[in-house]
Amino acid sequence: MPDVTITVDGRTFSVPAGTNVVDAARMGDVAIPVFCYHPRMQPVGMCRMCLVQIGTPKLDPATRQPVRGDDGRPVIVMMPKLQTGCTTPVSEGMVINTVSDEVKFAQKGVLEFLLTSHPLDCPVCDKGGECPLQNLTMQWGPGKSRFDYNDKVHFEKPVPLGDLILLDRERCILCSRCVRFQDELAGDPVLGFDNRGRNWMIISKSDPPFDSKFSGNTTDICPVGALTSADFRFKARVWEVNSKPAVCTLCSVGCNLSLDMRHEQLMRVMPRENGAVNDIWICDKGRFAHRFIEHESRLTTPLIRKGDQLVEATWEEALALVAEKLAALQSSRSGSAIAGLASPRLSNEDLYAFQRLFREQLLSNNLDHTIGSPADGDYDDLGALLGVGKGTNLMGLGAGTTVLLVGADPEEEAPLYVLRLRAMAQRGARLIVANLRPTKLEQAAGLGLRYRVGGELAFARAILRELLTRMSSDRLTVKQNGLDQLRKQLLALKPEELAEAAGVDQAQVAAVATALLDAEHGIIMYGSEARSAGPALVETLGAIAVLSGKVGRANSGLIPLLPGGNQRGALDMGVRPDARPGYALLAQRGLSARELWGAVRTGTVRAVWIAGLDPAATLPAAREALANAEFLVVQDLFLTETARLADVVLPAASVAERDGTYTNAERRVQRSRAARMPHGQSRPDWQIIQGVAQLLGELTVVPARGSTDTAKGVQSAKSRRESTVAVSSEPIRWDYLTVGELAAEIAERVPTYAGVTYDALAATGKPGDWGRQVNEAVFYDGTNYENTEGVGLALPALVESGRATVNLAPRPALASGDDRPLLLLVQPLAYGGDPLLRGSLLERQIPRPYVAISQTDAEKLNIRSGDRIRLDSAAGELLSVARVVADLPAGLVMAPADLPGQDLAAVQTGTRTRVSLVKIVT
């Protein structure tokens, strides 16, 4: 946009053309007060708070040139009426007056009007202290109101608009920010207005009311205390709280949070602005779920098994026991008898330390970050290889970008992507949503496609084939092999047969290819549904990105939505049996989680260390194996099902109680800070790991680096002081004083993490780089989105190094010999069985176990919602309750993942399971 020159209150400066007067004045440090205007939404000009005087140069009608006065300056024609700054775009030579008597009279007038229906109950209002109405009244309002207090409207004090949000109708100033947020940004048009005139009031008639994953944001943008959160209500005054910067680990978006603490207590969670991640929003899960931090069932001390009991122990006892046991096993049976699982929610530092402990000290590659359920997909390496390039910023993308979303339901898997993708689409990006079933984001998509059940690979191949026919070698910017094989195999397929198999129109396939080829930037996102189709699909999607030239640079590439807030970090850090940090494949791989349970049962693996995962809760095989394992260490926040089986339970500090870095879906590394002291005696995971490692170092004869010799000469804990311990010539370093030292080591040792220093993470960029880094009085007045901790650092995709090679050779589709009629898909739910929902208001939203079945199949099987049903698969059977979903395609049944009380593992044969279904008649 070209710049135009404007004059605001006598000062002349340039702003981009098309900016509205409020934003433009702001650029020159002039604040025009607003209520209804919000920089993230279309201006509506309702509240009339931003009235200013505006004039434009008088133009000569013949020449269209400004007429000049005697002083040689352009003659300015002032508009007869005051104008709303929020709805008026600036134009060249515009003169704006924000301080004249007329303007002041109007602003005072509007404020006085607003206060006529406002109860002025600031002393008992949660918004008090960060309330735009308060602040603007101080600065622009009249000293007092002439309105008779007795004439005010009185309503019943707050009424719930749903489980999470309360509405105080007396306080509402009818700016419609909340309604517009839900309509425009969230795409959940569940708020509206009842009545009219002064009786106008917010209502929500969705079922359940205020049915949106983003409802909490309305309390932030509400310029008064009309919308308050049930979670924060009457908890604290906002000036008492201390905002601590954190990162949300509940999904792969990695939203920036402020944990608002009063002393050691979490009062509320607020979004912290980061244009590259969450802008100024967070989802309700991020906002409301963090109550687990203070849950009364948190572990406070280490526990050691004494017979049937777990009894409290000191850290010294517990760590010594763990070290002793592991050292003994390691020396008697080798490291391969020990396995470790670490949660994909732990920080990079924890994960790095965990794999170091296993690889370097226990000499075991039996490492993983999943629970080994049949439904766990393959390791998503392609996402790192082709992952969006360094410098990607979705906030800056609009026209010229194509996003292809395949087999994902961001609303449930990574909610904030709904807002980000919708906003991109509104800025002109082409959003293509392809799924088996309808999802929320489909409504925002320019093109919504539904492939048939089992047709996704054909769909992706159809696109790829189309790209091959339009092949141009200059698009192939990355090192690859297998292209000839790919070409041979795919061109042999008939496009119409592929389209038919996909159940998608050939023209639409071509349209997707065109949209990708024509776009300057192309992003392919995929989620749980796509990953469940097996690696062939993901690889085809990767090939699509490669062949359309949308890899290896900023704003292009793959974004996989992985479960767990830091699964990318776990993969990067090599918490897996087959690769070291940085995707360095090992010659000799260890056991994966899926292989682990059998190995435990047979005694090949004797000891298991589980950090932050709870396999016993959902996986009978794990439960059975662990119950009989020789030695089980569990490190967690809670006494989980798995912890109950443990020999030693180690209490871990929660994300709010420790520093750490996390890597999100776009491979942006971000730092989260401790907001409070660890709960009870709990310790950060890395410290626990280091504690054991240090003891092990004292206990074992440490082999020289890289040697695979088994250690000898293990001493008992009691006698270890007297014993001679062989010290390696190059001692393994286990003396990190802070997590920062670990982070520095990661930056030094893990390829692609080079340069990820705390300094780099703390950068907030220049103003304008990415939204705003400081609290903006005018727009967000009151609500503090300030980000002082930094916006993090995006890692390059591996192909950007130029060293990685992409293998394009297609692999065969998974064949299933099973001819059961229905396909069972597991659906991750935002409010599913996540144990971290405990203690939060969201707990109530966890559904009871059910299996969703299509209308068509339900009719065929004479099933109605609520009927008891049985699923049968090659693996076993599952009893559940049917929920008939009208727009689910026939042939598909869906069960929420991880719901307590629904033993999905009993039927699962893999990421997808063929099942048959019968109604149980009693």
Partner 1 sequence: MLLDTHQSEIEAIIARYAQKRSAVLPLLYLAQDTYGYLNPAAVREVAAILDLPATDVFEVVGFYTLFYDKPVGTWMLQVCDDLPCCYLGAEELLTALKRTLGIREDQTTADGMFTLQRVKCLAACDRAPVVQANLDYLYDVTAERADLLLANLRARAAEAKQRGLSGRSAEDFVVETDRLSHMSRDAAYQERSFTIEPPPPPTPPAELDSGYDLPQFRRASPL
Partner 2 sequence: MALSEYIVMRELNHPDINQFAVYRRLGGWDAYATALRERTPAAVVQLVREAGLRGRGGAGFPTGVKWGFLPKGVFPRYLLCNCDESEPGTFNNHQIIDRNPHQLIEGVALSAYAIESNTAYIYMRGEFAAAALTLERAIAEAYQAGFLGRNILGTGYDLDIYVHRGAGAYICGEETALMESLEGKIGQPRLKPPFPAVAGLYGKPTIINNVETLANVPRIVERGVAWYRSYGTEKSPGTKCFSLSGHVNRPGNYELPFGVPLRELIESPEYGGGMRGGRKVKIIIPGGASAPWLTAKHLDVPLDYEGVAAAGSMLGSGAVIVLDETVKAPHVAYKMDEFFKHESCGKCTPCREGTHWLVKVLHRMADEGHGEAGDIETLHGIYRQMAGNCFCLLGESAVMPIKSALQLFPEEFETIIETSSRQHGRGKHVIPLL
Q: Could you list the residues that contact ligand FES (CB under 6 A)? A: 34-37, 45-50, 84, 86
* Binds partner 2 by CB under 8 A, chosen from 22, 30, 95, 110: 110
Decide: helix, strand or coil at residue 851. Answer: strand
Q: Would you say 189 or 866 has its CB closer to partner 1? A: 189
CA atoms within 13 A on the CB side of 49: 30
Site string for partner 1, 135-154 (x = CB under 8 A): -------------------x
Q: For residues 41-60, which are near partner 2 according to CB under 8 A?
A: 43-49, 51
Dist. CA 781–CA 561, nearest whole Å: 34
Q: Would you say 110 or 711 has its CB closer to ligand FES? A: 110
Dist. CA 227–CA 178, nearest whole Å: 9
The amino acid that residue 808 corresponds to is L
* Binds partner 2 by CB under 8 A, chosen from 11, 68, 73, 81: 81
> How many other CB atoms are found less than 10 A from the CB of residue 80?
6
Instruction: Name the binder of 109 from ligand FES, partner 2, partner 1, none, CB < 5-8 A by kind.
Output: partner 2
HEC readout, 628-653: CCCEEEEEECECCHHHHCCCEEEEEC
Q: Would you say 152 or 601 has its CB closer to partner 2? A: 152
Smallest distance from ligand FES to CB 77, Å:
22
Smallest distance from ligand FES to CB 48, Å:
5
Instruction: Name the binder of 34 from partner 2, ligand FES, partner 1, none, CB < 5-8 A by kind.
Output: ligand FES
Q: For residues 266-305, which are near partner 1 according to CB under 8 A?
A: none
Q: Would you say 182 or 640 has its CB closer to partner 1? A: 182
CA pseudo-torsion sign 540, 541, 544, 546: negative
* Binds partner 2 by CB under 8 A, chosen from 65, 68, 105, 920: 105
What crossing angle do the helices spanning 315-333 and 685-699 adopt, rounded to 10°? 60
Smallest distance from partner 2 to CB 181, Å:
17
Q: Would you say 49 or 905 has its CB closer to ligand FES? A: 49
Instruction: Name the binder of 148 from partner 1, ligand FES, partner 2, none, CB < 5-8 A by kind.
Output: partner 2
Where does residue 908 rank: exposed (0-12), middle (13-18), buried (19+ CB within 10 A)? buried
Q: Determine phi and psi for 317, rounding to 5 degrees.
A: -60, -50
Decide: helix, strand or coil at residue 402. Answer: strand
Burial 162-198 (b: 16+ CB within 10 A, else e): bbbbbbbbbbbbbbbbbbbbbbbbbbbebbeeeeeee
Q: Is 109 in the site for partner 2 (CB under 8 A)?
A: yes
Q: Would you say 157 or 235 has its CB closer to partner 1? A: 157
Q: Would you say 164 or 570 has its CB closer to partner 1? A: 164
Decide: helix, strand or coil at residue 379. Answer: coil
Instruction: Name the binder of 189 from partner 2, partner 1, ligand FES, none, CB < 5-8 A by kind.
Output: partner 1
Smallest distance from partner 2 to CB 413, Å:
33
Instruction: Name the binder of 155 from ligand FES, partner 1, partner 2, none, CB < 5-8 A by kind.
Output: partner 1
* Binds partner 2 by CB under 8 A, chosen from 32, 34, 54, 106: 106
Q: Would you say 114 or 191 has its CB closer to partner 2? A: 114
Dist. CA 194–CA 151, nearest whole Å: 21
Q: Would you say 183 or 769 has its CB closer to partner 2? A: 183
Q: Residues near 498 by Cβ (< 8 Å), separated by ≥ 6?
A: 458, 459, 461, 462, 465, 509
Q: Would you say 179 or 313 has its CB closer to partner 1? A: 179
* Binds partner 2 by CB under 8 A, chosen from 58, 66, 128, 147: 147
* Binds partner 2 by CB under 8 A, chosen from 150, 473, 719, 862: 150
> Are 468 and 547 spatial neighbours (Cβ–Cβ below 8 Å)?
yes
Dist. CA 124–CA 117, nearest whole Å: 17
Paired tokens of 645: 């089986």
Decide: helix, strand or coil at residue 539. Answer: helix
Dist. CA 509–CA 465, nearest whole Å: 10
Report the alpha-carbon angle 574-580-582, nearest 5.
75
- Applying CB under 8 A, the span of 110-118, 124-132, 337-345, 615-623 interacting with partner 2 comes to 110-118
Dist. CA 644–CA 634, nearest whole Å: 9
Smallest distance from ligand FES to CB 50, Å:
3
Instruction: Name the binder of 147 from partner 1, ligand FES, partner 2, none, CB < 5-8 A by kind.
Output: partner 2
Smallest distance from partner 1 to CB 154, Å:
7
The DSSP string of 545-565 is HHHTT--SSBT-EEEE--SST
Q: Determine phi and psi for 25, rounding to 5 degrees.
A: -60, -40
* Binds partner 2 by CB under 8 A, chosen from 56, 87, 206, 807: 87
CA atoms within 13 A on the CB side of 397: 26
Q: For residues 188-227, which are near partner 2 according to CB under 8 A?
A: 193, 195-200
Instruction: Name the binder of 50 from ligand FES, partner 2, partner 1, none, CB < 5-8 A by kind.
Output: ligand FES
Smallest distance from partner 1 to CB 173, Å:
17
Instruction: Name the binder of 191 from ligand FES, partner 1, partner 2, none, CB < 5-8 A by kind.
Output: partner 1
Instruction: Name the binder of 205 from ligand FES, partner 1, partner 2, none, CB < 5-8 A by kind.
Output: partner 1
Distance (Å) of CA 712 to CA 330, 555, 672: 9, 52, 41
Dist. CA 881–CA 895, nearest whole Å: 10
Decide: helix, strand or coil at residue 502. Answer: helix
Q: Would you say 167 or 432 has its CB closer to partner 1? A: 167
Decide: helix, strand or coil at residue 823. Answer: strand
Place of tokens 């993490």: 753
Site string for partner 1, 155-194 (x = CB under 8 A): xx--x-x-----x-x-------------------xxxxxx
Paired tokens of 659: 């520093």
* Binds partner 2 by CB under 8 A, chosen from 7, 117, 331, 775: 117
Q: For residues 199-238, which are near partner 1 according to CB under 8 A?
A: 199, 201, 203-207
Q: Would you say 48 or 720 has its CB closer to partner 2? A: 48
Dist. CA 698–CA 703, nearest whole Å: 12
Q: Would you say 83 or 249 has its CB closer to ligand FES? A: 83
* Residue 244: strand pairing partners: 259
Alpha helices in 561-611 (DSSP H): 567-572, 593-602
Instruction: Name the binder of 159 from ligand FES, partner 2, partner 1, none, CB < 5-8 A by kind.
Output: partner 1
> Are 11 and 194 spatial neighbours (Cβ–Cβ below 8 Å)?
no
Q: Would you say 90 or 653 has its CB closer to ligand FES? A: 90
Task: Return the H-helix or E-strand segment holding 105.
Answer: helix 101-116
Q: Would you say 185 or 634 has its CB closer to ligand FES? A: 185
Paired tokens of 804: 């990685």
Q: Would you say 49 or 319 has its CB closer to ligand FES? A: 49
Smallest distance from ligand FES to CB 120, Å:
21
Instruction: Name the binder of 82 from partner 1, partner 2, ligand FES, none, CB < 5-8 A by kind.
Output: partner 2
549: Cα separation from own chain's centroid: 27
Taking alpha carbons only, the member of 201, 124, 195 closest to residue 155 is 201
Taking alpha carbons only, the member of 904, 888, 821 closest to residue 856 is 888
User: Which residues sit at the interface with partner 2, rule CB under 8 A?
Assistant: 43-49, 51, 81-82, 87, 105-106, 109-110, 112-114, 116-117, 146-148, 150-152, 154, 173-174, 193, 195-200
User: Which residues sit at the interface with partner 1, rule CB under 8 A?
Assistant: 154-156, 159, 161, 167, 169, 189-196, 199, 201, 203-207
